[in-house]
Chain A
């Protein structure tokens, strides 16, 4: 039981990271009709901002993280204004290739701005005997609880925003039919801009949460990015909450396989299970198949 509880909380923590990234991916996919392959790279870039301010300038994490979120939002604005919006007439594949170009640019800029060395990143609350709580025999760090709480709170407010505000309605309208929304006077341009900003902020938070496990470096988001994509297909691209559920499921199943079956092959097993799942539910957990009329 102790082990299971530990695994459960670990899954909630990594699941939150995946969920934040997945929500970003699905938000961009629904409003810009493209996979944002650069989600991880954008997060990494801004995690570097936080880490540099922290380590080289000695600022507090409670200041640097909000600053990184602001730079993330700005990154989102810049990307939308300079790369995505001018590419309106470019097809879906083209847009994805643009996000690939962005990865390459970001991977090029980052070492120039922040150096090539990985930068260690502290937790929000450092782990010690004082900062942990006993729960059914397992000890859970405050930091884990804090990151889980803040991710869930952030996502919950995003869902509240989507559901109950006029901006949220605009986003949902754009997501279901961009052309019709535009004709109905929905400011689709601002919607995509906001989506990019939000996705960038979520990606950055995910990167900051995951960073202390190793350090802030160029490749740290590869796994998160990949898991976010799988979370999206598992939960289905049709809803915003499906991918979040998918993210927690992936984290949990990976941790469980890792511990109880094999650590070498846990990733592969999870991927195979996802493939089999997709075969039987081709549009994810909470998706409906759309039928084309002839």
Chain B
């Protein structure tokens, strides 16, 4: 009797920790994800699934950066793909010149941050749609550079890379590299959470919702615009570095407007201002078509494509605040089911999303 009580109290405590402490949840989520390589070795999952999830994890980091820009700072960038590509090429290039992996990554990030500052400064004068298209121009310039600057990118031949050796001692393999990706993703989730729940996050929101009131409160709009762009470029570039490190081959045609738009879709579909929603968005945009739709419609590739387009449209239409709200709806439904009032609840559930 006593033991049972203690046990339930312990469970209660753990439950409490999980519901209160977001860091525990992110970590637990990471631990779950890092089981994937194990599952594939045992044979429960296909080997290709590991790469799929690696891609999802990498783009979760990229999309989180864009989420800070769109959701919190009210700014937009259509140059995301360019930065991801730059991260991928940069780390390969500097590593190829004898610089250790960590430093190669650091230098790449530093250069990207400088370009981010440049865009941030630009954003002080150019606003709204004009800024969006200007960042599109930056992305296009990147894309041209990837195709034409042979010494940096080897043009259409692409560049090869290998799994990095961390700190000169820890040689990563496919599965350990995957775990490294997961660690990085969880780390970036922490970073995003800490940023947006701090003075910086509040300042970004104040700035985006009302310029003048932010200024009256002492928030320097130029400064926080710069910060927002730097954060977004650093997240995107980190994604690129990890992309090169996991997939070990970078070619110039991947970093186009379509990818940028897909990352934007990941943010909007998953849920603006939501961290776990961002992961969900990447999963819906990239994971669902590859995991299920392509199998379902094997042979007619076009149909899988159509479905993923329709899926994006449907989610945006019915969950304008992001697919992350699906969970809330399920919770509501479940509660209604529990109370035995499911019949009317289905109707109400629909209303709640409006």
Contact = CB atoms under 8 A, between A and B. Distances in A.
Interface of A: 29, 35, 37, 83, 86-87, 89-91, 93-94, 96-98, 100-112, 222, 226, 229-230, 232-233, 237, 264-265, 267-268, 271-272, 274-275, 278-279, 282-284, 292, 294
B156 to A, nearest CB: 14
B148 A103 contact: no
A101 B134 contact: no
Contacts of A264: 148
Contact of B127 (A107, A108, A282): A282
Contact of B320 (A94, A106, A108, A111): A94
Contact of B306 (A105, A237, A267, A274): A105
A271 B311 CA distance: 34
Contact of B312 (A89, A100, A265): A100
Interface in B46-102: 70, 76
Contact of A279 (B70, B122, B133, B138): B122
Nearest to A93: B268
Instruction: Give chain B's interface residue range (CB within 8 Å of chain A).
Output: 35 or more
B262 A100 contact: yes
Contacts of A91: 320
Interface in B130-160: 130, 132-134, 136-138, 140-141, 144-145, 148
Contacts of B125: 279, 282
Given A233-B133, A278-B134, A108 B305 contact: yes
24 contacts: A29-B129, A35-B132, A89-B320, A93-B268, A97-B265, A100-B262, A100-B312, A101-B309, A101-B312, A105-B309, A105-B313, A107-B309, A108-B309, A110-B302, A112-B302, A226-B140, A226-B257, A232-B133, A233-B130, A275-B138, A278-B122, A278-B134, A282-B126, A284-B130
B211 interface: yes
Contacts of B312: 97-98, 100-101, 104
Nearest to A236: B130
Contacts of B309: 101-108
A102 B313 contact: yes
B191 interface: no
Interface in B236-250: none
Contacts of A108: 302-307, 309
Contacts of A230: 133, 137
A109 B307 CA distance: 10
A268 B144 contact: yes
Contacts of B145: 268
A151 B76 CA distance: 33
Contacts of A105: 305-306, 309-310, 313
Interface of B: 70, 76, 122, 125-127, 129-130, 132-134, 136-138, 140-141, 144-145, 148, 211-212, 256-258, 261-262, 264-265, 267-269, 272, 300, 302-313, 316-317, 320, 354
Given A37-B257, A268-B144, 4 more contacts: A94-B268, A108-B304, A110-B302, A268-B141
Q: Which 7 A-B pairs have the closest CB atoms?
A: A104-B309, A108-B305, A108-B306, A105-B309, A101-B313, A101-B312, A294-B212
B176 to A, nearest CB: 35
B303 to A, nearest CB: 7
Given A96-B264, A267-B144, A278 B310 contact: no
